[in-house]
Structure 1
Amino acid sequence: MVDRLLGILKVRVLRGVDLAVRDFLRSSDPYVILRMGKQKLKTRVISRSVNPEWNEELTLTVENPSLPIKLEVYDKDTFSFDDPMGKAEFDIRTLFEVVQMNLEGLPDGCVITKLMPNRQNCLAEESVIRLENGSVLQDMFLRLRKVECGEIELQLKWMNIPNGRSASLQDYL
């Protein structure tokens, strides 16, 4: 297995929709944790909301595109442990494959591929990978698991590393 930086993944945590209530006042104080391998990143806490708007960008370095990205949502508590509000997982293999294609000459806004929700992924609806301003973006809504309700909206943006090694997904499987 090769351990070399292949690119940077910018994960924009846009918002939560209909998140679980975990506080006394029929609300929550949610934040999101992203994990990929040994990396762990966290959004800020949004007070008293079950429909928080983070619009916060978290940056992951990618050495192995076959590693899943784990997302966890928690309710911040002051005098006790933070309450879990669900979790989800997604992979970036399809996004990585698209980045490796020759996309020159394709028009801005062009949809490269779509991923459909199924039992193996946490997608709540169709996820679109598209070209915008020369960047490959993926929009997704993730349905949270191990909780009564809630979805998280994300946008992924791949950033190539100048002089980075070109690898294929097969190198990591």
Structure 2
Amino acid sequence: MAAAAAAILKLHISKGTDLAVRDMWTSDPYVVVRLGHQKVKTRVVKNNLNPVWDEDLTLFVPHSEPLVLKLEVFDKDRMSKDDQMGNGEVDLGDLASAARMLKTSPAQSLAMKNKEGSPCIKCVDGHMVQQVFLDLQNVESGQLELHIKWVDFTH
């Protein structure tokens, strides 16, 4: 039996910037997002190294789940295995902590930075939201922009 869910993550995958070429001159990118055993993905944007997905995805966060969001970008191929275009991780620990703080001190104004000093975590409409600019790893270039909203079930 699966663990009870502690929260929902609402992801908004905005866009990719300066993604790697994996076909002749371009790529057909899509993003795969994993949290524990869950996997969701965006649609494919054809022939574009700066795709705009503007797509919403949802994942459940069980109490026992590690709080690391894993993202991979692939180039869709028709006749062969899809090519990797980079990957990265987002540690959700600070976002989860901010959500717990909001639950225990709802009147407190929250704005905090994660350990690396970049994506800002803030309270928007009673939920903690983190904007992330993720530089892709294991690839020559590329960045993803996404927004992560933590929706606590007990909120």
Q: Fold conserved (TM > 0.5)?
A: yes
Moved over 2 A (4+): 64-67, 102-107
Paired residue for 2:107? 105
Measured at CA, do residues 16 and 103 of structure 1 come closer, stay the same or move farther in structure 2, by a change above 3 Å? farther
For structure 2, the 5+ residue unaligned runs are none
CA displacement at 1:4 relative to structure 2:
2.3
Report the secondary structure of 1:23's partner residue. Answer: coil
Distance 1:98 1:65 in 2: 17
CA displacement at 1:39 relative to structure 2:
0.3
Superposed, 1:17-166 pairs within 5 Å as: 17-24=17-24, 26-63=25-62, 64=64, 66-101=66-101, 102-106=104-108, 112-117=111-116, 126-162=118-154
CA contact (8 A) 2:36 2:65 kept: no
CA displacement at 1:3 relative to structure 2:
3.0
Counterpart AA for 2:146: L
Query: Could you tell me the percent identity over the aligned residues?
Result: 41
Moved more, 33-42 or 61-70: 61-70
Report the secondary structure of 1:126's partner residue. Answer: coil
Report the secondary structure of 1:89's partner residue. Answer: strand
Counterpart AA for 1:145: Q
Considering only aligned residues, what root-mean-square deviation do their CA atoms show, in Å? 1.9
